[in-house]
Structure 1
Amino acid sequence: MRLGFPGNSLLMSHAVPARKTPFSVMDWGTRVADRWDWGVVGLAIVLHISLGIDAARQWSATHDEFWHLPAGLAAWREARFDVDNLNPPLTRLWQALPLALGGARLPTGLPPDDAFTLGDQFLSANRQNYDSWFLAARVANLLLSGLTAVCLWVWGRDWNGRLAGVLAALLWLFCPVCLSNSALATPDAGATLLFVGTLWSMDRFARSPDWCWAVAVGLLLGLAQLTKFTNILLWIFCPWVWIVTRWRSGLTPVASSRLAGLTAMIVLLALLGWNAGYLFQGTGRPLGQWSFRSQSLQQWQTRLAGFEWIPVPLPADYLAGFDRQRATMEGSHPVYLDGTWNLTGFPGYYLYCAAYKWSHGTQFWVVFGLAMWLTSIWKLRRLLQRKRPSTPQLDRLQRHVRQGLLLLVPAAILVGVASSMGMQLGFRYILPAFPLLYLLAGLAAPCLWPSHRWIQLPIVLFIATSLCWGLRHHPHHLAYFNEWSGGLEGGRAHLADSNLDWGQDLNHLRKELQTRQIPLVRLAYFGMIPPGEVGINYLLPPSANQVAGGRPPAGWYAISVNFVLGRPHTIRNPDGSIRGVGYQEFGYFRTMKPVITLGGSLDLYFVEDRNQRPSTFR
């Protein structure tokens, strides 16, 4: 079983060279075939973006998008980052760029840290073009997802040939979790792009430590900090990449003075980009002038007592947002797994997410990649026990083991950190780990590639089928669950929140009500948009303690699956105001069978009058 890809070519391994002529058709065909990976990845990116656009145009603004996008517009218009500093601004700025250029409106002087007011004011000012602005922002985000695939393709090809790079890119592009989060105006896809881009550039820098790659690492590391607070872990992962790549590698040693200069350049460029993203607002504020909310930052401030004069080399809104998010994560959050709610989270939450949310094709390739990496460790150990190990085989195995360590340790740390937090509200929280696992799978893919052409076609068909199978529920990628977990209908037995119901199907509900000619519905919607703003005439359903015998009054009901499962949250009253929803307030709907489930996230029920003859609805 080989870990290399012979000849680095898929289609022309047995082709007979044509006689060289200036405009030979055969020569042109050979060149095209020799670049097959360009075509495959390019077509896959086009398909990925096309599917994403089609889904994005149908989805209503989801829970977090409601304030993410107007926060980006506020940053463009007023250079303000405090209207919502719970996330850094870079991806928001990118997504809001079409709005800033296209004339979207947003009132000035909005209060800081008030997501409801921010979202409501943006909706009120842009009612006619509201969905169009979100579509434009989502398309911009899909472009970032395409760049992530390009990065994986280049990195995999550089490490182990074209098939490795192509498979890694396709795993990203055809993953329903990646596609759904890329088709939303949220920071996850952009943060993942810069997470992967930083590690890739660091790998190149470790193998060729020159000033050009040092500049690339510094700029990307700084930009990555402007996407999501998770990317602060890159300050640990970049040294790890250097250590794994250089340790006993046989690469040319780097002089200490040169390495110190290159490292200083990386750090300074990263800090410069980090602060420039916030226009240097509040950079250098002394530590003693901060009043932190979170216990973790309060503890650090206490440990540094006596050093209150130290200037903090970070923007004020970044540190304030980081502190705010830490305080949020230190609080209690309802987490749902396999029919159970708790307030502390589950240690294996993200492993269960992978079991339920990844398509079986993706699961196969990730497990196969891990198995081949462990096999390489076993073979390497046996080979080193010999007195004279084979040098080519030894080099190949050592390279594969080294590459696996480089990828798996950051992925494991990221999953471990997320698992230690009680705020486990979606598989998307570990999205930056996906490309690392997909790249590991891609590295092992050439092992399956046969030398005989008659079995190459079945292998290609297997790869295509295993990857595309997860897209068959289009456009309901956000609520996707694999067959083992029960699909769109059965996923609610396992996971909730952004894994399933993020408020994406409000437009779908409006169309369904129009089709069925339902003038009034009792609606409990898990989302931030006031349903009346999209033309839905509704009342709130009665709470569980108001329902006699567990049966509400006759009529039509639309209940978000999160509320059916019993999640506490907030809800919009018909007048647009907000009230809290208690635990299991609408959980009594679990005893009823919906007429239809829209997109996997919204149940539509009909409760008949007991005095009337039963009817059947489809």
Structure 2
Amino acid sequence: MEKIKNYVSARKDFFTGLAVVLILLFMFALARSSSYGAFGDPGDSAIFDEIAHIPAGYTYVKDADYRLNPEHPPLVKSLAALPLVADKRIIGPEKDSSWPAIDQWGTGWYIIYQAGNNPKTVLGLSRLPMMLLMIFLGLFLFKWGRELFGRKVALVVLLLYAFYPDVLAHGRLVTTDVAAALGFTVATYCFTKVLKKISWKTIISAALALALAQLLKFSAILLFPIFLLLIFFKTFMNREKGKFWNNIWRYFKPFLLISILSVIFVWIVYVPFVRNTPPAVEHQLIETNLTDNPSTLGLRTFLHRFENNTILRGLGHYALGVFLVIGRVSGGNNTFIWGELSHKSIPYFFPLAWLLKTPIPIILLVFASVFAIILRWPKSKEKKWQLAIILTPIVVYWVVTLRGRLDIGIRHLMPTIPFVLLMIGYFIQPIINGGKKWQKTIIGLLVIYMMGSTLYNYPNFIAYFNEFTPKDQRYQRLVDSSLDWGQDLLRLKKYVDENNIKNIKVDYFGGSLPSYYIPQSTGWHSQNGPTSGWLAVSATFYQSSRLSGPEEGKWSYQWLDAFKPKAIIGGSILVFNISPEELEKNYPVSPYPITTIVAPTEDENNLIGL
């Protein structure tokens, strides 16, 4: 045994690198197989946002036209599109009527389901670059963790990351959430290098990293106040009598330069993507997305000044996207959590959602870390600075999130996850590197528990809830991208085929077409009223109908509470089989007046989660 220890110790860099590779390869295998299908599972169907992101990225790269999806920056979508553009068999949306109509959803339905492309090929190719971004974030997190805490702690942090269900859930989809976490992590790391040593090399690196973050997701604008706070903390910790403001200015100057350069870099990247966008289309985008509200007249007039110049159009398009995101966050969405519904926001949404969706070992380690930091606030400047770097992004992001109104999914907290894991790394460092055996055993058991919990929930990572929530009650806690984003239509098809179901009504929320995969399906909505036979309802519609139904005087799905689902597919689609006799015996009575009865229709749009 001693010889083995000595052998491993002498080659610790090799074995550390091997461990990192194996962990990340396993993470990639989990993401790829659960997305594409393996072990008898058909994989994930297209989720809601992919319908807009995939055609947008395709036309950015192929046509240099940015008419689709301006509310998100181009980098994630363009990376997802590279394999599609390289595959000459893929037919784009340019010849469909949705293209001149600037219909981002229509172009998505066309390129995936109507143009003759294989949906599995389109989704498989476009999701692959997203998984590589997820792996790169893991690699970078290990690198930073090793610099801060050493290789052993960094490996534990990497393991927690690799088996984090929310990362696995969203890192395999054409969405911007894990990419945003990557941008926040890399940009913050590079900025701290500037504060350590101001040089042109560190300034340019930080500017490029900040530009990268802004090109991945517009929420990166929060990095500007985060960096300012880090400047203040750095100056305060190294304060000298009479030189406080001089030192503030010393760090503020490179921050200002980094900020300006980052916007220039973003502008440069935007230019080729908007090069062929017709000025008339750019004009329409501004008017349509900002509406004709008099309060936006000045902004619209300002943005119109950029639309006729090929070079300036990139800067104007970037500004349009930022304003759209700010408007959306302040405007809000329909929100549901634990039985409460709202058109705007629910103040406790994110804290409660975090407790429901976060693995129990992470919750325990986070609370232990917070208590340890409070009880044993470090005395050394180095440790204080480590905490400032780790905690500032978490606190700022949570404060802004709680004040916003976009309570639609726990995924919006994704940029905080790397910093939360680094905070855990800070806490476990003295334990891993010199703690008592029982302390190390507890850490090991928590890591093993998390790995087992994640694997037990394979492949349903979007629908992951920790063990505090029974599996058959998840749809009563959260919906939308925290549970039901449209990922389970292929699993519903498998259930229908295995049970030889000849006719089924489907009310589906997501990015797929039930009639494409399940020809025997019929479109249905809550407003069509009570019905018998086989009925499949997405959890999001099941709950949101309780808000829209009473307001519009139409039926909601509240009547289904009297019937037990035959199955819950992947956690997100409730399947009922109600006999005519059951329905007649317990015919539903609405708790509010029904003033409008809507007859079912065969219109294909009724099968779309829009």
How would you bin the TM-score normalised by the shorter chain? Answer: 0.7 to 0.9
Mean Cα deviation higher: 366-375 or 257-266: 257-266
Residue type matched to 1:556 in 2?
Answer: W
Asked whether 1:54 is paired with 2:33, we answer yes
User: Structure 1 residues 250 and 153, CA, compared in 2 at 3 Å: closer, same or farther?
Assistant: farther
Q: TM-score, normalised by structure 1?
A: 0.81
Aligned residue for 1:420?
403
Please tell me whether residue 563 in structure 1 is matched to residue 541 in structure 2: yes
- Partner of 1:605, secondary structure, is strand
- 2:60 matched residue in structure 1: 75
Moved more, 149-158 or 72-81: 149-158
**1:102 and 2:87 are equivalent in the alignment:** yes
Determine whether 1:508 maps to 2:491.
yes
Structure 2 Cα separation of the partners of residues 307 and 136 of structure 1: 35
Relative distance call for 1:605 and 1:125 in structure 2 (3 A) is: closer
> Which stretch of structure 1 is more off in the superposition, 224-233 or 415-424?
415-424
Instruction: Find the residue that maps to 1:479 and give its secondary structure.
Output: coil
Offset at 1:454?
6.0
Change in 2 beyond 3 A, CA 1:234/1:160: same
Which letter maps to 2:341? W
**Deviation digits for residues 564-618 of structure 1, max 9, x if unmatched?**
2234899xxxxxxxxx999863332222111111100011111123199x9xxxx
User: In proportion to residue count, which structure has more helix?
Assistant: 2
Asked if 2 retains the 8 angstrom alpha-carbon contact of 1:177 and 1:428, the reply is yes
Q: Which residue matches 2:597?
A: none
Q: For structure 1, which segment, 326-335 or 246-255, has the greater mean C-alpha deviation from structure 2 after superposition?
A: 246-255
SS at structure 1 position matched to 2:383: helix
5 Å-filtered alignment, 1:333-372, equals 333-372=333-372
Q: C-alpha displacement at 1:291, in angstroms?
A: 6.2
1:20 is aligned to none
Q: Deviations over 1:321-344 (max 9, x none)?
A: 333334444445210011010112
User: Match for 2:464: what amino acid?
Assistant: Y
Which letter maps to 1:600? Answer: G
Distance 2:199 2:525 in 1: 67
The answer to whether 1:153 aligns with 2:145 is: no
2:505 and 2:522 in contact (8 A); partners too: yes
Question: Partners of 1:538 and 1:79 in 2: how far apart?
Answer: 39
Aligned with 1:141: secondary structure? Answer: helix
Counterpart of 2:58 in structure 1: which amino acid?
A: L
1:292-311 → structure 2 map (5 Å cutoff): none
1:27 Cα deviation from its structure 2 partner = 7.2
In structure 1, distance between residues paired with 2:191 and 2:563: 55
Specify every segment of 5 or more residues in structure 1 that has no aligned partner in the other structure, as ranges. 1-11, 17-24, 381-393, 571-579
Match of 2:228 in 1: 239
Residue of structure 1 equivalent to 2:198: 209
1:38 aligns with 2:30: no
Q: Secondary structure at the match of 1:120?
A: helix
Query: How far did 1:510 drift?
Result: 0.9
- Residue 407 of structure 1: how far off its partner (Å): 2.3
User: Does 408-417 or 583-592 show the bigger shift?
Assistant: 583-592
- CA RMSD for the aligned pairs? 3.8
Q: 1:137·1:185 contact (CA, 8 Å) conserved in 2?
A: yes
1:270 matches 2:262: yes
Matched, 1:436 2:419: yes
Q: 1:606 aligns with which of 556, 577, 583?
A: 577
Residue 225 of structure 1 corresponds to 214
Q: CA distance change for structure 1 residues 126 and 365 in 2, over 3 Å: closer, same or farther? A: farther
The amino acid of 1:443's aligned partner reads Y
- 1:233–1:26 CA distance, 2 compared to 1 (3 A): closer
**Aligned-partner residue type, residue 421 of structure 2:** Y
Unaligned runs of 5+ in 2: 37-42, 586-610
Residues 55 and 93 in structure 2, CA contact (< 8 A), matched pair in contact too: no
| Range moving further from structure 2, 444-453 or 429-438 | 444-453
Query: Residues 278-293 of structure 1 correspond to what in structure 2 (within 5 A)?
Result: 278-279=270-271, 281=274
Paired with 2:128 and 2:518, the residues of 1 have a C-alpha distance of 25
Q: 1:260 to 1:483 in 2, by over 3 A?
A: closer
Q: Which residue of 1 aligns with 2:589?
A: none
Match of residue 187, structure 2, among 186, 198, 213: 198
Instruction: Tell me if the contact between 1:206 and 1:246 (Cα under 8 Å) persists in the aligned partners.
Output: no
AA aligned opposite 1:148: L
Deviations 1:124-169 (A, max 9, x none): 4554421122122222111111111122212122122223322332
Question: 1:151–1:299: structure 2 CA closer, same or farther, 3 Å change rule?
Answer: farther
The alpha carbon displacement at 1:306 in A equals 12
User: Which residue does the alignment assign to 2:567?
Assistant: 596
For 1:368 and 1:36, the matched residues in 2 are separated by: 30
Task: Say whether residues 1:185 and 2:160 are aligned partners.
Answer: no
Q: Which residue of 1 aligns with 2:591?
A: none
Question: Which amino acid is the alignment partner of residue 371 of structure 2?
Answer: A
Q: 1:151–1:245: structure 2 CA closer, same or farther, 3 Å change rule? A: farther
The alignment partner of 1:539 has SS state of strand
8 Å contact from structure 1 (residues 139, 183) kept in 2: yes
Amino acid at match of 1:610: E
Question: What residue number does 1:574 align with?
Answer: none
Paired position in structure 2 for 1:384:
none
- Trace 1:84-95 onto structure 2 (pairs within 5 A): 84-95=69-80
389, 394, 399: which one aligns with 1:411 = 394
Within the candidate set 566, 578, 585, 2:556 is matched to 585
Determine if contact 1:525/1:559 at 8 Å carries over to the other structure: yes
Preserved contact between residue 130 and residue 173 of structure 2 (Cα < 8 Å): yes
Asked if 1:519 corresponds to 2:502, the answer is yes
Whole-angstrom distance in 2 between the partners of 1:140 and 1:538: 33
- After superposition, where does 1:524-535 map in structure 2 within 5 Å? 524-535=507-518
Q: Residue in 1 aligned with 2:157?
A: 168
- Distance in 2 (CA, whole Å) between partners of 1:84 and 1:410 is 27
Q: Distance in 2 between matches of 1:113 and 1:470?
A: 43
Give the CA deviation at 1:217.
Answer: 0.6
Kept in 2: contact 1:568–1:581 (CA 8 A): no
Are the structure 2 counterparts of residues 484 and 266 from structure 1 closer, same or farther at C-alpha, using a change threshold of 3 Å? same
Give the AA of the match of 2:174. A
CA displacement at 1:317 relative to structure 2: 2.2
Comparing 111-120 with 246-255, which one deviates more in the overlay?
A: 246-255
Indicate conservation of the 8 Å contact 1:336/1:496, yes or no: yes
Tell me if structure 2 keeps the 8 A contact 1:293–1:327.
no
CA contact (8 A) 1:154 1:165 kept: yes
- 1:191-248, Cα deviation, whole Å (9 max, x unpaired): 2111110001111221122222211111111121111111111122223333334543
- Residue type at the aligned position of 1:80: D
List per-residue Cα deviations over 1:390-412 (Å, max 9, x = no partner). xxxx32xx433332233223222
Residue 445 of structure 1, CA deviation: 0.8
Percent of residue pairs identical: 21
SS of corresponding position for 2:11: helix
The one-letter code of the counterpart of 1:485 is T
How much does 1:414 deviate? 1.4
